[in-house]
Amino acid sequence: MSSGNNVAYWEVPMSDGLHRIEFEHGTTSGKRVVKVDGKEIIRRDWMFKLVGDEVFNVGQARCTIRVEPVGGFSYAYELDVNGKSYESFTEFMNKSTKTWIVNIGNETYRVVLEKDTLDIWANGQKLETMGEFVEDGTETHFTLGDTPAYIKAVTSGKRREGILHNLIINDTVIAEARVH
């Protein structure tokens, strides 16, 4: 990182990928810089008020970085995403999505299933899919590059577990990635 003023960063899981949000805060100059995935989206060079909020969007998500004093010249930095704390949002995404990381040839794909909409994303792009009912559940077919793939949904038979989703490529079940 080019600056010594980086005070916080967050890795935010979203359907279109994992986004890195970085925050620089110059506590003498009041300078504030917000970067998303390495790209500067907000720069304020001279601010007399050292506390307050920075509001910006990452895709469809509304984000707020809160700068609050914690005594002396120390500050706390909190990220809210769509009105939820970073921790609550990350927990929500882990419950409402399933993520797989798969290598095909020399390409790596991050595949995300949104369980509420059944949308499937790969490397930030929403995929065209075709669903079909099968004997023990459903299969949602799509391609990763030229490789056919599908997500099979079957009931677990247990109320607490609900529906189980598996990504299958070349007759192989791909292990789910742990995003956070």
Q: Report d(CA 4, CA 170) in Å as an integer.
A: 48
- Domain presence at residue 46: yes
Domain boundary residue, one of 47, 82, 117: 82
- pTM of the prediction? 0.78
- The pLDDT of residue 169 is 97
Q: Is 100 exposed, middle or buried (0-12, 13-18, 19+ CB in 10 A)?
A: buried
The pLDDT of residue 4: 56
Residue 179 is assigned to a structural domain of this protein: no
Q: Write out the two tokens for 104.
A: 């095909």
59 and 110 part of one domain: no
Domain that holds residue 22: 6-82
User: Is residue 1 one of the residues assigned to a domain?
Assistant: no
**Are 67 and 105 part of one and the same domain?**
no
Are 111 and 170 found together in one domain?
yes
CATH of the domain at 17: 2.40.128.180
Please identify, among 82, 113, 135, the residue that sits at the C-terminal boundary of a domain.
82
Distance CA 5, CA 62 (A): 24
* CA 38 to centroid of chain Cα atoms: 15
Same domain membership, residue 62 and residue 24: yes
**Residues of the chain below pLDDT 70:** 1-4, 179-180
**Are residues 70 and 131 located together in one domain of the fold?**
no
Instruction: Return the closest-CA partner of residue 142 out of 175, 116, 109, 93.
Output: 109
Q: Are residues 165 and 113 in the same domain?
A: yes
Angstrom distance (rounded) from CA 47 to CA 30: 5
What's the number of domains the chain is made of? 2
Residue 180 lies in a domain: no
- What pLDDT sits at residue 3? 47
Q: Are residues 77 and 103 in the same domain?
A: no
pLDDT value of residue 170:
95
Taking the C-alpha atoms of residue 143 and residue 178, their distance in angstroms, rounded to an integer, is: 22
22 lies in a domain? yes
What is the predicted pLDDT for the residue at 180? 52
Is the same domain home to 105 and 156?
A: yes
Q: What does the DSSP 8-state code read for residue 90? A: H
